[in-house]
């Protein structure tokens, strides 16, 4: 007879303590942890391009730009994710290891993460009251989908294309523009991307 393994439930506090001592990053979903895989060079370049553009636009403001080492806490600690890029403009959101009130989250899609980013994370992220923009940037082709909250209830789905050129970001009265060409700057297409 096959013996079943019993999974140990971790509380959010146990997760945070364990994560602070871990050698690799883990995302936390309802008491379970999931190891994070490494990302490709293209994935990293795209995330850095987004973070660089946002940081340049928000210098000297209340907004902070974070990359994949800052956790976003969702649903009062039921979930913790490491988005590729996040923008937070609330000074009261000051925990040094996670943020609760991002106004923008960008995920760079790869073959191994696209389904999770489009479904599970989107379902969780859209419940964050401060979130205004959720970007899904494809790392295998020059394509960007985004969700923009136009009021507290309605999300608008759009696509940033090379002909549209830029997406205007307005978070907590701070403004930035993400340009299609800048997001994909120095990206070489046509090479195999296994991630």
Distance separating alpha carbons of residues 40 and 130, to the nearest angstrom: 30
Q: Is the four-CA dihedral 65, 93, 102, 175 of positive or negative sign?
A: negative
CA torsion 65-48-177-179 (nearest 10°) is: -170
Q: What is the pLDDT of residue 7?
A: 67
Q: What is the pLDDT of residue 125?
A: 96
Q: What is the pLDDT of residue 189?
A: 85
How open is the CA angle 22-28-36, to the nearest 5 degrees? 60
* Spatial CB neighbours of 96, under 8 Å, sequence gap ≥ 6: none
User: Which parts of the chain register pLDDT below 70?
Assistant: 1-7, 191-195
- Neighbour order of strands in the sheet with 102-109: 64-67, 85-88, 102-109, 133-138, 144-149, 155-160
Q: What is the pLDDT of residue 2?
A: 55
Q: What is the pLDDT of residue 50?
A: 97
Summarize pLDDT for 19-39 with one digit per residue, the tens.
999 999 999 999 999 988 778
Task: Tell me the domains of the chain and their CATH numbers.
Answer: 39-183 (3.90.1570.10)
DSSP secondary structure code for residue 4 in this structure = P
Residue 47 corresponds to which tokens in the numbers above?
């995330």
């Amino acid at each position: 007879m096959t013996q079943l393994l019993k999974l140990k439930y971790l509380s959010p506090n146990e997760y945070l303590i364990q994560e602070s001592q871990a050698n690799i990053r883990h995302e936390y979903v309802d008491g379970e942890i999931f190891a994070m895989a490494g990302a490709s060079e293209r994935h990293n370049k795209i995330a850095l391009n987004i973070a660089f553009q946002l940081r340049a636009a928000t210098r000297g403001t209340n907004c902070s730009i974070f990359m994949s080492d800052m956790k976003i806490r969702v649903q009062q600690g039921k979930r913790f994710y490491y988005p590729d890029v996040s923008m937070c403009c609330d000074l009261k959101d000051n925990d040094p290891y996670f943020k609760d009130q991002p106004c923008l989250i960008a995920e760079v899609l790869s073959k191994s993460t696209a389904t999770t980013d489009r479904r599970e994370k989107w379902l969780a992220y859209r419940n964050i009251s401060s979130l205004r923009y959720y970007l899904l940037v494809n790392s295998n082709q020059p394509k960007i989908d985004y969700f923009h909250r136009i009021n507290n209830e309605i999300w608008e789905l759009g696509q940033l294309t090379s002909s549209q050129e830029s997406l205007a970001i307005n978070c907590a009265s701070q403004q930035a523009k993400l340009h299609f060409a800048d997001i994909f700057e120095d990206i070489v297409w046509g090479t195999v991307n296994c991630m």
